[in-house]
Amino acid sequence: MTAQQFLNLIYDFNHLSLPDLLAARDHFHVHLSHKANVVATAVGYYRIRKSDPWPTRDNPRGATTPTVRPHPVRTLENSEVRSYSWPAILVFVDRWQQMDEFQNPEDAVPPAVYLPNGQKVPICVVQVNKDDMNHEGDAHYNYPASVMGGGYPVICDVQGKEHVASVACLVSDGHRVYGLTNRHVAGEAGEPISAIIGNNKVRIGTSAPLALKRKLFTEVYAEWPGKNVYVDLDVGLINLDDLGRWTTQVYGIGEIGPLADLDTSTISLRLIGCPVRAHGAASGPMSGEICALFYRFKSVGGFDYVADVLIGPTKDIALGTHPGDSGTLWLIDDGSKKEEPRPIALQWGRCSLTARKWALPMLSPRF
């Protein structure tokens, strides 16, 4: 080994922590978001193309030829997180381009950024497409015969139109029991909420004054970097008229376990790959896994907006979420039946990202 080889700096990306990734992303987000084709960023693990070979003794890096050009497109469908994937910033683009296709080379997303202390943080570029193909007319609603519960549709009449969404589950402040859903569904305090029960449209309650719209990232995650960033919460409550109409079970899932308590001491990159499932009022059974954290998707008035987790399907099965699934409760469930599924996230919003079969609803685990 030459003297220079001893002096060369070798980066061990596995030493990067979640706060390291957030700090690097926060420091360079404006720079990255202004690159050509970039639509969003997140943090997680570097995704390896499924066609890439696994490491061997003769080929420890698992790559074919590092200098091969052009680089084949990487999507969420044709890539995966492997056991040797390293922590990285994920940059989502709506168009995949080779370096020589940029009129200005500076428009290309760099392979890495550097923290002020010199630590190198890799970047994984993934091609996705904005998807609005799932229309409300494609939804298949299941209406209860007599008793309501999580996973059933609720209706809010707004400006002469019916807005349909999911009720997540029942929650309580110790005095009253409420139906949990999205704030944008429940609307302003006092607005009547209805449901179809026994083929009849009946009022089930009114929007409660308690609601969460958004909070500064530094309020929710005080110890982590996130300057000028809002966490989009969108949590609303339904003040139920008659508790006798309701069950604590979630349709298609049954009894649920205790809430997954997430904060800066419990959230880590170990959540990547966590299996989850849900029952949306519009889509029915859905299952997937957490594929990225802190999806930063929008900039308005100098502030960015972030969703806590990004969920995608497993085993190439389409997630297929529809308008009407807003308010759906997602639960940790590995299918082992050793414990009851634990609530971890509340789905909100209609917009999703797809890479052919992939669909990624934006979620918030803040109840």
CA distance 227 to 104: 29
Q: Does one domain contain both 115 and 216?
A: no
> 146 lies in a domain?
no
Does residue 139 lie within any of the structural domains? Answer: no
The total number of structural domains in the chain stands at 3
Residue 355 is assigned to a structural domain of this protein: yes
**Residue 78 falls inside a structural domain:** yes
Nearest to 235 by CA among 221, 220, 248: 220
Same domain for 334 and 263: yes
Tens-place pLDDT, residues 106-127: 889 999 999 888 889 999 999 9
228 and 270 share a domain? no
Token pair belonging to 168: 């997540």
If pLDDT is split at 50, 70 and 90, which confidence band does 131 have? low
Q: Which residue has the tokens 């390896």?
A: 48
Per-residue pLDDT tens digits for 191-244: 999 999 988 899 999 999 988 899 999 999 998 998 899 998 889 999 999 999
Assess whether 38 and 115 both reside in one domain.
yes
Nearest residue to 314 (alpha-carbon basis) of 53, 46, 77, 49: 77
State whether 122 and 175 are in the same domain.
no
Q: What percent of the chain has pLDDT over 70?
A: 84
Is residue 150, in this structure, part of any structural domain at all?
A: no
Within a domain: 344: yes
For residue range 22-45, what is the model confidence (pLDDT) as tens digits?
Answer: 999 999 988 898 898 999 999 999
Is residue 143, in this structure, part of any structural domain at all?
no
- Give the pLDDT score at 350: 47
Considering the domain architecture, whether residues 7 and 123 belong to the same structural domain is answered as yes
Residue 39 and residue 113 in one domain? yes
Both 195 and 268 in one domain: the answer is no
Element (H, E) at 7: helix 3-7
Query: For the segment 68-89, what is each residue's pLDDT rounded down to a tens digit?
Result: 567 889 988 888 899 999 999 9
Render pLDDT for 271-309 as a digit per residue (tens, 0 to 9).
999 999 999 988 889 888 899 999 998 888 888 999 999
Among residues 214, 246, 278, the one where a domain terminates is: 246
Quick one: pLDDT band at residue 318, thresholds 50, 70, 90? Answer: low
- Kindly list the distances between the CA atom of residue 166 and the CA atoms of 155, 250, 312, 322, 331, in Å, as whole numbers in the listed order: 9, 11, 19, 11, 15
Q: Does a structural domain hold residue 170?
A: yes
Last residue of a domain, one of 197, 224, 246: 246
Q: How confident is the model at residue 342 (pLDDT cuts 50, 70, 90)?
A: very high
CA 201, 207, 213, 218 dihedral sign is negative
Whether residues 162 and 205 fall in one domain: yes
Instruction: Tell me the whole-structure pTM to 2 decimals.
Output: 0.85
Strand (E) or helix (H) holding 31? helix 18-33
Domain boundary pick from 222, 246, 270:
246
d(CA 231, CA 5): 45
231 lies in the same domain as 283: no
pLDDT at 66 over 80: no
| Domain that residue 22 falls in | 3-127
- pLDDT per position as a tens digit, 182-198: 888 888 899 999 999 98
